[in-house]
Amino acid sequence: MTGLEIGFISVIGILVLVLMGMNIPVVLALVSLSGIWFITDNFDIAIFLLSQKSVETISSQEFAVIPLFVLMGLLISTSDIARETFGVAHFVFRKIAGGLGVATVAANAIFASITGVSIASAAVFTQVAVPEMLRYGYHPRLAVGIVAGSSVLGMLIPPSILLIVYAFIAEVSVGSLFIAAIIPGLILAALYAIAILAVGKLRPEWVGQAEMAALDETSDMTLGQAIKLLAPIALLVLLVIGGIYRGVFTPTESGAVGAAGALLLTIAKRRLTWSTFWQVTVQTGHVTASISFMIIAASMYSSMLGLSGVPSELQTWVSASSFSVITLIIVYVVIVIILGMLLDSISIILIVLPIFVPLFSQFGVDLVWLGILSIIIVEVGLLTPPLGIAVFVVKGCLPDKQISLKDIFLGAMPFGLIMLLVVLLIVVFPGIIVY
């Protein structure tokens, strides 16, 4: 077989093995080793090339951004910040029909800007927000849909683990990606809020007939208390993102500042014991090792594809076919959405980027712009059947087990469509992404 044939077979092999249930980094590493071995016909060369690539991939100081932001997110998750943030948002939007749903989106956006993990947001707000919305008469399908839909903000609003993974694979600046994601993230959150308010206007029974009166009767928070609760979180976000934006910190330094700030904040709230701190530290190591293995395996896979000639062959074919950049974007979006129905977010990024980044580079597409577009499309997969990881997390954490998976999928569907609308806005108005 030629190197090109081996490269194309490897892509099919990866998809088959992943769908069979094998761990994605193991699959990528195994296929990469086998591919280079067959291409070079020398096992020693394959081992040498891949071991060298492993060292090169994680030897940079910038790689320290991963454990630092993971530690920051885990520390915040151990505190009661999510509940407090939801309470503040609840207070702010208490006089609006659908305000509790908007509060969930706002709190999720703030929580996302600290933790950077969609699954964490889905788990926390299923337990915090869904019972409250059901108590005030929200339709169950709307309540779980709001939580599942707004949880995806965790992977878009920086700092985001998925953005960091993309940055290392596409070899772009983590700081640039963080800054570029802010406006699209806020637009997505705003469109979610508008959609919920529209439901409150058109179908008031879905947001609870007595919601406003009940909120007025039960809300005992004052403006001063709200500011006091939100100020530490706002300061932490300002330090991390503002420091990068103003050039005061590198992304790695901002991660260190964020982790230190999260540690102090958690200690100040008296939510951290030695036992909890040890668990957080160990979990940070586990998550970092997992992500590191993923990035190393993706780097190996990219090297194998380059050696096989698949990217250059695809570039030649795209040029000969007179593909426009819009056509390529449409093909990319469709492929990622289909994969999103079957695979998790990081797996999709690891598989498709080594193939498509060279193609987009050929058209002169900004890889930071492509990163934001990719993250939003990939996150649609968290809400789509049959996999829909965010939906399954919501189902697993629901206090009310009578709400079915079908209800959650149907409730999340409008939010997935809104995400596709944001994708369209980014394609039509690329200036939305500023960095």
Tens of pLDDT along the chain (435 residues) come to: 777 788 888 888 887 887 787 887 888 888 888 888 888 888 888 888 778 877 777 777 777 788 888 888 788 777 777 777 878 887 888 778 888 889 889 888 888 777 767 777 788 788 888 888 888 888 899 999 999 888 888 888 888 888 988 998 888 988 899 999 989 999 999 999 999 999 988 888 888 754 554 455 445 677 787 788 788 888 888 888 888 888 888 888 888 888 898 888 888 877 778 888 898 899 888 888 888 888 888 888 888 887 888 777 777 777 777 778 888 999 899 888 888 877 778 878 888 888 899 889 888 899 999 999 999 998 888 788 877 778 888 888 887 778 888 889 999 999 999 999 999 999 999 988 887
In DSSP notation, 357-405 reads HHHHHHTT--HHHHHHHHHHHHHHTTSSTTT-HHHHHHHHH-S-TTS-H
Same domain for 148 and 7, yes or no, is no
Q: Structural domain tally of the chain?
A: 2
Same domain for 94 and 29, yes or no, is no
Same domain for 354 and 229, yes or no, is yes
Same domain for 153 and 125, yes or no, is yes
Same domain for 332 and 359, yes or no, is yes
In a domain, 417, yes or no: yes
SS3 label, residue 138: strand
Same domain for 330 and 411, yes or no, is yes
Tokens representing 23?
A: 């761990």
In a domain, 278, yes or no: no
Contact 181, 416 (CB under 8 A): no
Domain boundary among 260, 280, 308: 308
In a domain, 281, yes or no: no
In a domain, 282, yes or no: no
Separation of alpha carbons 185 and 113, rounded Å = 10
Structural domain for 36, as ranges: 1-59+290-308
Same domain for 236 and 209, yes or no, is yes
